[in-house]
């Protein structure tokens, strides 16, 4: 973990709006319900690859898996499973269908996530303890200013809608909550941005995007929007996760934050229409 500053401006020539629309990733950007998902996915994949009989060490397999899992972070989970199937095949193993790998992963992950979701749902844990600090105030501020708000996640849409509601954030986004579907080729964050531009009539430079993964930052930059990388430390709930920060900068993030606590300062960088 590193904490160089609350708000780090990486690109001093970043878009300056005014902004009329905001798009958020969910896991790690607003929600902490699925924190540590990597600690479930990566060991599962390492074990599957080890079972192919490869001569690679566990460390070598971990490095391989870590690279593609985090490179694809932000895309639908199925893409990580497609890559896993390709890696199994490369090692002369018998790969399951990517959807079967995805179900296996979800079953393992739900052992942790399900308990968190139900703890918030029945009031044992306050929702704000399982959100990135400052999430609610920034969403309230954007909503009060009349900003159009979208949420797009690589997690399956059924889970996303439920978890957004459990955290009490659904009313900020209304019908504009998007997530992965089985027909995965007909959903992507790029498609949501295209819809914002073509159907809703926003110019790319009028969109500000928030995300903790490579993909959403890359896509926001492609359309000319302001990309805010959320390098959240999901365990400590404070400071900057150094690994995320580096990846987000590689993806093209204009600004890096760890959370939304410095709302007044952040608001000054996001002039709204």
Q: How far is it, in rounded angstroms, from Cα 208 to Cα 201? A: 15
pLDDT, tens only, 6-65: 899 999 999 999 999 999 999 999 999 999 899 999 999 999 999 999 999 999 999 999
Buried b (16+ CB within 10 A) or exposed e, 40-65: bbbebbbebbeebebeeeeeebbebb
| Residues 6+ away with beta carbon under 8 Å from 15 | 205, 224, 225, 226, 254
pLDDT at 100 over 70: yes
Q: How far is it, in rounded angstroms, from Cα 159 to Cα 163? A: 6
pLDDT, tens only, 160-190: 999 999 999 999 999 999 998 888 888 889 9
Of the pLDDT bands very low, low, confident and very high (cuts 50, 70, 90), residue 5 is low
Of the pLDDT bands very low, low, confident and very high (cuts 50, 70, 90), residue 158 is very high
Domains within the chain, CATH numbers bracketed: 7-32+131-268 (3.40.50.1000), 38-121 (no CATH)
Closest Cα to residue 264, out of 168, 134, 131?
134
């Amino acid at each position: 973990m590193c904490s160089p500053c609350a708000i780090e401006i990486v690109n001093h020539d970043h878009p300056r709006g005014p902004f009329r629309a905001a798009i958020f990733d969910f896991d790690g950007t607003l929600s902490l319900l699925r924190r540590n998902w990597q600690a479930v996915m990566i060991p599962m994949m390492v074990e599957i690859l080890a079972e192919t009989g490869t001569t690679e060490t566990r460390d070598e397999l971990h490095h391989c898996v870590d690279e593609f899992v985090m490179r694809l972070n932000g895309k639908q989970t199925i893409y990580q499973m497609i890559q896993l199937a390709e890696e199994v095949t490369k090692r002369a193993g018998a790969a399951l269908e990517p959807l079967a790998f995805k179900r296996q992963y979800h079953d393992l992950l739900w052992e942790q996530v399900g308990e968190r979701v139900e703890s918030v749902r029945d009031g044992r844990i306050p929702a704000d303890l399982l959100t990135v600090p400052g999430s609610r105030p920034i969403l309230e501020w954007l909503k009060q200013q009349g900003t159009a708000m979208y949420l797009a996640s690589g997690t399956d849409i059924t889970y996303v809608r439920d978890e957004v509601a459990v955290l009490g954030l659904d009313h900020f986004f209304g019908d504009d909550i998007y997530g992965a579907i089985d027909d995965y080729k007909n959903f992507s964050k790029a498609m949501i941005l295209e819809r914002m531009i073509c159907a809703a009539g926003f110019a790319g430079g009028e969109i500000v995007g928030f995300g903790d993964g490579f993909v959403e930052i890359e896509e926001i930059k492609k359309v000319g929007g302001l990309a805010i990388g959320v390098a959240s430390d999901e365990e400590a709930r404070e400071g900057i996760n150094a690994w995320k920060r580096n990846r987000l900068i590689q993806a093209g993030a204009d600004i890096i934050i760890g959370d939304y606590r410095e709302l007044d300062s952040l608001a000054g960088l996001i002039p709204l229409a």
